Amino acid sequence: MTLAFGSHMSASGGVDKALARGEELSLESLQLFSKNERQWQASPLDPETVQRFHEEVARTGITKLVVHDSYLINLASPKPDILGKSIPAFADELDRCDILGIPHLVTHPGAHTGSGVEAGIAQFGRSLNEIHASMPESKTVTLLETTAGQGTTLGRTFEEIAAIIDLVDDKSRVGVCLDTCHIFAAGYDYRTPEQYAATMAQFESVIGLDRLKVIHLNDSKQPFGSNKDRHDHIGDGEIGLEGFRQFVNDPRLDGIPGILETEKDNAGENDRRNIATLKGLVAR
């Protein structure tokens, strides 16, 4: 009774290549980019690559799949030029997930860049509703990722995430990705059983645990409440092992993808070590 441990895998050479890389690490879940995360546009997915992707999913048995969208996208932007690029780019991300049969697309809730929190939330809601209306047959669920609260980014509180969800017309098409580093940096502590219970009770009350579909498992290089997004290896940062012990032993989270976004090395040893650490925290 624990999370389905996984990691973000490179899709270099084609999205189908990410599955074999995950298989080498014995992953139960996997996150990837479906295109270059630092470019607005990308070539359409090659049909042969798509076919190989589906074959690799069947062969490896890694079916708990997540895509993270481009870092350039800002659906909360008050700037028409940025919004004019972000909306079609995000629609393309959803379309690629549908083609690949990937159920969840993680996105940051954007940044208001000076327009204010309320205006940013309202714009994000409008953007997502516009995209959904243009893609009524899409099956992929958008997951709003909790953020550390740097600058004017949205999603630093559970209330901000809930406010966006409230504005989405079709709520079956939206969920949440909780990042352990981000919520810690944003001021949610969970390093003791009591603190964890209080934080998760707040999540349940404000958002609802039924909306939690993915967890990003990252320790934090920066201290509690710093609002700085700096990931560290599990147990090496300011959160420490006890914080992660709470997550991996919560039966309510059984089977949810728990995805590492920690620093990579060429041999995959960092991921192996982090996953072994997490598994070692699971109560026997």
> Looking at the annotation, which residues are catalytic?
38, 68, 71, 108, 145, 179, 182, 216, 229, 231, 261
- From the list 196, 273, 202, 204, the residue with the least C-alpha distance to 232 is 273
What secondary structure does DSSP assign to 262-277, as a single string? PPP-TTSHHHHHHHHH
The residues, any chain, with a CB within 8 Å of residue 184's CB and separated by 6 or more, are 190, 220, 224, 238, 239, 243
Extended strands (E) in the chain: 4-8, 29-32, 64-68, 104-107, 141-145, 174-179, 212-217, 219-220, 231-232, 257-260
Residue 114: burial class (beta carbons within 10 Å; 0-12, 13-18, 19+)? exposed
CA 110 to the chain's CA centroid: 13
